[in-house]
Amino acid sequence: MAFAAASLSPPPPYYYSLPNLSPKPLLNKIHPFSLLHRPPIFRIGGGLQLQGRDSLNFNLFASVTSADLLLDEAVEKTQLPKGDTWSIHKFGGTCVGTSERIQNVANIIVKDESERKLVVVSAMSKVTDMMYDLIYKAQTRDDSYIISLDAVLEKHKSTAIDLLVGDDLANFLARLHEDINNLKAMLRAIYIAGHATESFSDFVVGHGELWSAQLLSAVVRKSGSECVCMDTRDVIVVNPSGFNQVDPDYLESGRRLEKWYSQNSSDTIVATGFIATTSQNIPTTLKRDGSDFSAAIMGALFRARQVTIWTDVDGVYSADPRKVSEAVILEKLSYQEAWEMSYFGANVLHPRTIIPVMKYDIPIVIRNIFNLSAPGTTICRTAGIGNEDGYRVESPVKGFATIDNLALVNVEGTGMAGVPGTASDIFAAVKDVGANVIMISQASSEHSVCFAVPEKEVKAVASALESRFRQALDAGRLSQIAIIPNCSILAAVGQKMASTPGVSATLFNALAKANINIRAIAQGCSEYNVTVVLKREDCIRALRAVHSRFYLSRTTIAMGIIGPGLIGGTLLDQLRDQAAVLKEKFNIDLRVMGITGSRTMLLNDMGIDLSIWRDLQKEKGEKADIQKFVQNVHGNHFIPNTVIVDCTADSYVASHYHDWLRRGIHVITPNKKANSGPLEQYLKLRTLQRQSYAHYFYEATVGAGLPIITTLKGLLETGDKISRIEGIFSGTLSYIFNNFVGARTFSEVVKGAKEAGYTEPDPRDDLSGTDVARKVIILARESGLKLELSDIPVQSLVPEPLKARTNSISDITSAEEFLQQLPQYDQVLAKQRQDAEATGEVLRYVGVVDVVNQKGTVELRRYKKEHPFAQLSGSDNIIAFSTQRYEKQPLIVRGPGAGAEVTAGGVFSDILRLASYLGAPS
């Protein structure tokens, strides 16, 4: 079958407009070029033979016309200036996506004060996809390719009408229509053949860059500036390198650039991105991110001062801002850092874009065309940043990048150890199926090799390996070829990592504290990056955890508050008042994701507005559900760290601590029930807490806001030996006995304490001594004693007839009844006070931990008036630690021990201690 292609006959040779020549007037006014109007001229033979649908071959060849020879003889060579006078700009498709944006780019070019500038442009936004779609439709014989081509024509036609007038508009539209007609003929040929070669595809797709370059150069000239167009296929020569890549021929490209410039010298050049030619003058493209690559190649050829890549973001972020909202713009990156980050999925630059400029130390600047005030990110030889005092304050890790949808392949067996060529055979099999190995990890024992590949390729890889090693598997030399799906890679990148000890330790510690397990690790000897493989569902949480740990963002903690009563409500108010200061000065972001009481709860995925939390609880509160509450607080993958703050005195809530810690949820509480409950449960809880990376803080269980637990732990951890702990642990009972003086009766003081808000709603809860006994058992267990609460003898101050018992109809059940009948028993305590005063002593209700004799007691004791316990006032607590170091003079801790403010403050202090442990600066 044969057909004529008369419409593809070559046009007359194109003559450049140059001095000393007499070109046609129209060509002298413009600098047009098109695919069929450019030297060398590509012609499509007038009669093509079609031999089968896969055998259509267009004979593309270069022709040196007589005009070219005339030019070579007539043109006086113009020396190409190179060096810092040139700046290279690259504008992507988004930057030239509309007529308004093209005008904006033209304004930037005109205002650039560089002595000389070369501007590389991509096709208008979406045009490259439209051109590929044309080829696909033509190949599949979809007649709608004609309508799609009309849409391409209309897009550029309307843009030109918006931007140009007069001859400029007429000339552009004439070239546009000519190109479209030629494309129709070419697509028709592809339609008939049902196939398009790579060269023909590249030829068709390249029109988008040509049209955008023509439009932009015309707009620049319209502003009064001199400007010429460059079809980079006249300059950039590349050679295919396999794997859908090309290598620039810099020597030949430089030679062609010299020739091109001698014929088109100008201080402003608009050049096409993405497209190039082979050494055989066959049109091709620079493949992925080709326009960036074009700009870098031009930067190297011109030895430019810098290459600016204009995009729609403010620069390179320390992490994907869609995953880490606190990601920051990096002021500088080294070439190697940018290379590593781009390889691992960061939206920086393709690694090959960096190669051309590295040789000549040409910086690349990433800038936002929509935010000209942003300085952007500079990629250069060194990336050190110092402050005004000369101190280097940057983190050793510059940024983090992730790759999702991976699978790990683990080849394992004792027969691998010491056998040369095993790894070679493994990766030869992987190569045979065309899979891309993202990461490799092998232990020195050579017992196993594991590597990561895209999940879509893992089945083919597994089949190839099983086929290649079938004999070794059957013989037992290999034990397994295991596939671990649903993985992601997290890479930490930084040039200073190599010279900073402990970076890997910090990275792994941050992941551990976020309760994230690592499946594989890889690190090159350059130490520019440390790569870990994780479960896919853990990736975002891991990214936020490590990002926070290296001070690149705030330490963010998702919080759930249980019990918004007196203490919990006060804590929420304290969090509200301090939130701004914590963010600004301490880099801590505490987000309350849930508040729950026994009946209603308030949830919010982004964090509750604490300025109106009480109103929100009334308006939007839902039925309390502890499981749903915890899931909402802990299930936010964008926040790596979770803490539940239990402000109740509820045993049921305390029973959940073990499960929460096991799930990696930190727990902070003033609730004494867990640490004073059954010994077996307590030991199980503490064992889990020591084995996991979840923190369990309970300072406020003993001394409200006083550092009792911290002090005791500090003594024990530093090797001191505790002999005795004695103290007034109840702020309520401290207040009562500090005021039980003179003629005042005991019942009168108790009533006053309740009215002042120092007691529980039922004062018997304080007077029974149970609360003090719980504090004693907590301290006893912290000191190493294995005691149950029932092992502590407690002297109750509630008269036996007034104790509440539910099995008798004569019980005194209400607090009011208790206070009414308490005066009947005043005489007992009045007699004890008189006896103490007669010997110069006072009464104090104390708890004692006798570590030497392994016991504890809670009772009313007498102390000399010179004793520290006798000199308290108000509701102060006081605790004396007698130790090996503090044998003659006990270590005293004294301060307020009751009240919502100080208790909430103690809980708040534990929250900030947790933030510090998780990476917040101290």
Residue pair 403/347 in contact by the 8 Å Cβ criterion = no
DSSP 684-741: HHHHHHHHSS--EE-THHHHTTS-HHHHHHHHHHTT--EEEEEEE--HHHHHHHHH--
Residue 812 has pLDDT above 70, yes or no: no
Residue pair 307/295 in contact by the 8 Å Cβ criterion = yes
- The larger pLDDT score, comparing residue 899 to residue 314, is at 314
Question: Residue 14: which pLDDT band, with cuts at 50, 70 and 90?
Answer: very low
* Cα–Cα distance for residue pair 85/113, rounded to 1 Å: 10
* Cα–Cα distance for residue pair 316/399, rounded to 1 Å: 9
- The larger pLDDT score, comparing residue 550 to residue 750, is at 750
The CA distances from residue 66 to 25, 34, 69, 280, 865, in Å, are 20, 19, 5, 20, 120
**Among the ranges given (264-273, 387-396, 616-625, 843-852), the one the predictor scored with the smallest mean pLDDT:** 387-396
One-letter-per-residue 3-state SS of 289-329: CHHHHHHHHHHHHHCCCEEEEEECCCCCECCCCCCCCCCCE
Mean pLDDT computed over every residue of the chain: 85
Phi/psi of residue 436, each to 5°?
A: -100, 120
Render pLDDT for 238-257 as a digit per residue (tens, 0 to 9): 998 876 788 999 999 999 99
Residue 349 has pLDDT above 70, yes or no: yes
Q: Label residue 136 exposed, middle or buried (CB < 10 Å: 0-12, 13-18, 19+).
A: middle
Render pLDDT for 660-709 as a digit per residue (tens, 0 to 9): 999 889 999 999 999 999 999 999 998 998 887 789 999 999 988 899 99
Q: Would you call the peptide bond into 40 cis, given omega within 30 degrees of 0 as the criterion?
A: yes
**Among the ranges given (262-266, 370-374, 753-757, 804-808), the one the predictor scored with the smallest mean pLDDT:** 804-808
Render pLDDT for 24-72 as a digit per residue (tens, 0 to 9): 333 333 333 333 333 333 333 333 333 333 333 333 333 333 334 333 4
- Mean of pLDDT values over 533-540: 92
- Mean of pLDDT values over 169-193: 94
* Cα–Cα distance for residue pair 365/531, rounded to 1 Å: 26
Position 52 scores a pLDDT of: 34
* Cα–Cα distance for residue pair 479/462, rounded to 1 Å: 14
**Among the ranges given (190-199, 520-529, 857-866), the one the predictor scored with the smallest mean pLDDT:** 520-529
Nearest 10 degrees: Cα torsion 701, 705, 707, 712: -10
* Cα–Cα distance for residue pair 888/875, rounded to 1 Å: 27
Question: Residue 892: which pLDDT band, with cuts at 50, 70 and 90?
Answer: very high
Residue 385 has pLDDT above 90, yes or no: no
Residue pair 23/17 in contact by the 8 Å Cβ criterion = yes
Residue 423 has pLDDT above 70, yes or no: yes
Question: Residue 813: which pLDDT band, with cuts at 50, 70 and 90?
Answer: confident
- Mean of pLDDT values over 723-727: 96
Residue 105 has pLDDT above 90, yes or no: yes
H runs (alpha helix) in 486-538: 503-513
Question: Residue 421: which pLDDT band, with cuts at 50, 70 and 90?
Answer: confident
- C-alpha angle with apex 57: 56 to 58, nearest 5 degrees? 120
pTM of the model: 0.66
Position 36 scores a pLDDT of: 36
Question: Residue 340: which pLDDT band, with cuts at 50, 70 and 90?
Answer: confident
Render pLDDT for 736-754 as a digit per residue (tens, 0 to 9): 999 998 889 999 999 999 9
* Cα–Cα distance for residue pair 451/440, rounded to 1 Å: 4
Residue pair 496/394 in contact by the 8 Å Cβ criterion = yes
* Cα–Cα distance for residue pair 575/751, rounded to 1 Å: 33
Residue 530 has pLDDT above 60, yes or no: yes
Render pLDDT for 613-655 as a digit per residue (tens, 0 to 9): 999 999 999 999 999 999 999 987 668 889 999 999 999 999 9
Residue pair 345/403 in contact by the 8 Å Cβ criterion = yes
Known catalytic membership, residue 535: no
Instruction: Please identify which of the residues 323, 775, 864, 888 carries the catalytic annotation.
Output: 775
User: Beta-carbon neighbour count of residue 545 at 10 Å?
Assistant: 27
The CA distances from residue 167 to 24, 29, 720, 721, in Å, are 14, 9, 94, 97
* Structure token pair of residue 507: 């990275």
Question: Residue 276: which pLDDT band, with cuts at 50, 70 and 90?
Answer: very high
* Cα–Cα distance for residue pair 864/835, rounded to 1 Å: 13
Question: Residue 218: which pLDDT band, with cuts at 50, 70 and 90?
Answer: very high
